[in-house]
Amino acid sequence: MGLVEGKVIIVTGASSGIGEKTAEVLAAEGAKVVLAARRKEKLEDVANRIIAAGGEAYTVSGDVSVREDCDRIAEETVKKYGRIDVLVNNAGIGDKQMSITRCSDDWWRQIIAVNQDSVFYMSRAALVYMEKRGEGSIVNISSIGGVFANAGIAYSAAKAAVVAMTKNVAIQFAGKGIRCNAVCPGPTITPLLSSDEIATFDQEFMKTCNEHICRSVPKAEAVDQANAILYFASDLSKAVTGQALVVDYGCN
């Protein structure tokens, strides 16, 4: 019997990195995983691998910064499996590490749309179904930037909002069968970490930020984040809600 046996779990951003590994780990623990992201082919690759390993997976492509897509991802999940037990809000884009005096309006809006609005849209869409059953769990992926604010202004703000939404949803549903927790990764080896998006555009600002981070610890691996997500998705954490768990080897 797996730790999330039979649970219907949506993982956004499942085409890469932490989301991809999370989908694999949850499926290996018995979940029926619904993989969501924009790149349909990448999602199909991940789903085929899970199915070949004996797991259950279904794909729904969509852009989680768009409300209609979020509603559709939730609807298609319920149409396929009849319910949503767990939502993992993982999709996100990397940090351009802009200080407030260097951050453009465009970059601010893009980060807020993908890293913050998506969590609001997807959670609201899933909660419609969870509330009817009085059962469910949401796991939001924030960042150490959302806890310590030592990243770009837009990224830090969006990820802090994710922690605030986590606690707010937890308060609303405390004792009502629905939990909401966050995982806050530190630097983790994924395509995001090596992409251009995370390149440092504001060297002086980041030097100041880095004074708040101990760089001598190892980087985490996607599986380290996936295991924390598994804990919040499973009934092992049935008495835990409104928590933000930092997974960063103690680099802050």
- Contact residues toward ligand NDP (CB under 6 A) are 12-13, 15-19, 37-39, 42, 63-65, 90-93, 114, 141, 143, 185, 187-188, 190-193
* Region for residue 6 given its phi and psi (left: phi exceeds 0; alpha: psi -120 to 50; beta: otherwise): left
The rounded distance, in Å, linking the Cα atoms of 24 and 27 is 5
The rounded distance, in Å, linking the Cα atoms of 155 and 143 is 9
- Closer to ligand NDP by CB, 15 or 166: give it: 15
- Residue 42's CB: how many other CB atoms inside 10 A? 17
- Closer to ligand NDP by CB, 131 or 252: give it: 252
> Which of 58, 81, 121, 155 is flagged as catalytic?
155
Minimum CB–partner distance for residue 140 and ligand NDP (Å): 9
Minimum CB–partner distance for residue 42 and ligand NDP (Å): 6
- Closer to ligand NDP by CB, 85 or 117: give it: 117
Minimum CB–partner distance for residue 43 and ligand NDP (Å): 7
Tell me phi and psi for residue 24, to 5 degrees.
-65, -45
Minimum CB–partner distance for residue 101 and ligand NDP (Å): 23
Active site residue 155: yes
CB 115 within 8 A of CB 153: no
Q: Which residues contact 140 (CB under 8 A, 6 or more apart)?
A: 89, 119, 123, 162, 163, 165, 166, 180, 181, 182, 183
* Region for residue 137 given its phi and psi (left: phi exceeds 0; alpha: psi -120 to 50; beta: otherwise): beta
- Closer to ligand NDP by CB, 1 or 23: give it: 23
Known catalytic residues are 155
